[in-house]
Structure 1
C-alpha cells in the first residue's frame, strides 16, 4: 500500500513539473508554442482543397480586436469542418513576445480546433502570379492606402492559389455559404471584395490580378478592391437589376444578392452599434459585413449593451470573462480544458 502511495505521489509530482515547464514556455513564446498539430501545418496542406475560410491582417498588429475575434470565431463555428486560416503580417515563425506581454485574443483564437494562424509573406505569396512584378517594384512607404491595397492584392493571390472563401475581418458569419464561385453584391451594379469565394486557379481571379497591375492607382479609394471586382465582373457578365432576393448567375460564377451580406447599407452602418431591433431579420443572409472602415468614431463591441453587433457575436461566458480580468493564469487553464474547444472570444471587451 505504501509503495502504491509513493508511486501515486511521484506521478503527481512529475505531472506538476511538466505543467509548470509548459507554463514557463507559454509565457515566453507565441507562434512556436502553438499546439504541435497546428505548428506542423502549412497553408498549402490546409487550403489546397479549396474549402478553407481566409482572413488577412496586413498591419503589424498582433492582438486581434474584439470585432476581429468575433469574425474569426463566428466563421469557425459556422464552418466547423473547414480550416479557418488567419494570415497576419506581424507574425513569423520566430516571433517571440517579451516575458511581460500578453495577447489573450491571439491565444484564445489559436486554441480553437479549426483556426490556424500563419505569417503573411507577400513576397512568397505573389510568386507565380501577375502581382509579382508590381510588388517587387513598389515602394510601400510612399503608397496611399497601403494597408488596404496590400490586402486587396493578398486576398486575390491567396484565393487564386488555394481556393476557398475570403472574408474581411469585420464580416460576421451566420450560416454556410452554399456557393463555390461567387462575388458579393453591395448593390445591383456594384461588387464588394470584402467577401468572395472561388475554386483554385479560377480564371476570373487571374484576370483580376492582371487588371490590378495594369490599372494600379492607390490614390483612388477602392480602385484595387471593390472597383476592380466590379469592372472585371462587367467584362464577364451583362449585369442587370436583381429580382426580389434571387442571385444572378453568369457563366460559372454567381453574383449574390445584396441581402446575402449587405442587408444594412454603408450609410446605415451605425445600426450595428445600436440596441438590437428584433424586428430586423437576416433570414436571407449568409454573413454580415459591418463596414468597419466607416467607423471613424471608434465604436466597439460593448459587453452587456444589447447592441446588434453584440448579439451577432458568439455567446459570452461571464465566468471566463471574470476569470480573465482577475487572473492571467486563467488563460492557460482554459487552453487546457479539453471539454470546451470552441471557446467564445469576446471576454476582454470593454464593460462601459
Structure 2
C-alpha cells in the first residue's frame, strides 16, 4: 500500500484527493516512508497567512528532494473544498510539487504516546496558551512517530540542509523547540520529552512545554547542568547547532526583519543560516507588514525564497504577514 494512502486512510480515515492540477496527491513525490519537513497548524484556521505560506513554500523550494508536510487541524482532507479565489494559501501550496497538506487528527496522533492521557483530561477552554501548548505536543508526537524535521510556521528556509538529529539554541541558555530534527522515527529523546511534557505540565506559563522543556530534557540527555557547553558539538547522538543556524536575529531585535537592508549585507549576515525564525508571535502585537518596494529584509526573503507567495500576496496587496 502506498505510504501516503496508508497515513490518509488509517490515521486520518479519509481517501486520497486530487490537487488543483488533477494529480492524485497520493502519488509520488510524497513518500511518507521517508522523513520529511513538518509544519503544524493547531488552530481551526484554514486560510494560512502569507508568512505561513512563505515558510512552507521556501522549505519546499529549498529541499526539492524532500517531502514537505503541512498538518492543519481545520483541514478536511478534500482540496476541492478550498477553491480560489475564496482561498489563497491552500491552493497555492497544493500546487507545489513536494508539498502535501494533511488533516491533523490530534486524538489519533497522540494514541500510544504519553500525551494521550493528558489530552483526554485537559480542558482547552481553561488554558491560557492552548493553541501554542497543543502545537508543542503535536510537534513532539509527529517527529517521534514519523521522523524528520519540525519547523515553526514563521521560519523561512534560506538554503537546503542535511537531515540530522539536532536541536538549536535560541539564546546561549535556552534551546528552542521551533526547529528540531530526528532522522529516524521513535527516537528516545522525543519520548522522554513527551513524558516530561505530561509530568511537568504548567499550561499558564509561556514556554514551559516548549523551550523550557527542551532545555531541561537536554540536561538529562547530556548528563550536564549546562548543555550550552555542547553548542556546536554532539551530545549523545544529538547535534546542538549554533544559534545562527535558525535564530540569526535574537527576538529582542525582531523588527530588524522589517527594516531596509542592503542586498550585499544580507549575504554576509546570513551566510551561516539555514533558516530564519522571524518571531511572528511578537509581531502579532505590532502587526508589521511585508511591503512591496520597501527593501526590507522580509521582502528580500519573500522575493528570493518564496516567489509564488510574494507574487500572490505581497505584490497584489500589502497583506499582513
Band the TM-score falls in, shorter-chain normalisation = 0.7 to 0.9
- Residues 36 and 215 of structure 1: is their aligned pair in 2 closer, same or farther, counting only changes over 3 Å? farther
- Residues 241 and 86 of structure 1: is their aligned pair in 2 closer, same or farther, counting only changes over 3 Å? closer
1:100 deviation in Å? 9.1
Pair 1:136 & 2:125 matched? no
* Structure 1 segment 1-352 matched on structure 2, within 5 A: 32-34=17-19, 37-40=23-26, 46-50=31-35, 52-93=36-77, 97=81, 102-198=86-182, 199-237=184-222, 238=224, 239=226, 241=228, 247-278=232-263, 279-280=265-266, 281-295=269-283, 296-315=285-304, 344-346=308-310, 347-349=312-314, 350-351=317-318
Matches of 2:32 and 2:271 in 1, distance apart?
29
Whether the aligned pair in 2 keeps the contact of 1:186 and 1:258 (CA below 8 Å) is yes
Any idea what the Cα deviations from partners look like across 1:284-340, whole Å, max 9, x if unmatched? 111100011111111122222111011112449xxxxxxxxxxxxxxxxxxxxxxxx
1:242 deviation in Å? 6.0
Report the 3-state secondary structure (helix = DSSP H, G, I; strand = E; otherwise coil) of the residue aligned with 2:141.
helix
- Residues 142 and 101 of structure 1: is their aligned pair in 2 closer, same or farther, counting only changes over 3 Å? farther
Q: Given the two structures, how large is their TM-score scaled by the length of structure 2? A: 0.84
Report the 3-state secondary structure (helix = DSSP H, G, I; strand = E; otherwise coil) of the residue aligned with 1:193.
strand
| Aligned residue pair count | 292
Q: RMSD of the TM alignment (CA)?
A: 2.4
Runs of at least 5 residues in structure 1 that lack an aligned partner in the other structure: 1-30, 317-341
Whether the aligned pair in 2 keeps the contact of 1:183 and 1:196 (CA below 8 Å) is yes
Matches of 1:273 and 1:309 in 2, distance apart?
6
Whether the aligned pair in 1 keeps the contact of 2:149 and 2:181 (CA below 8 Å) is yes
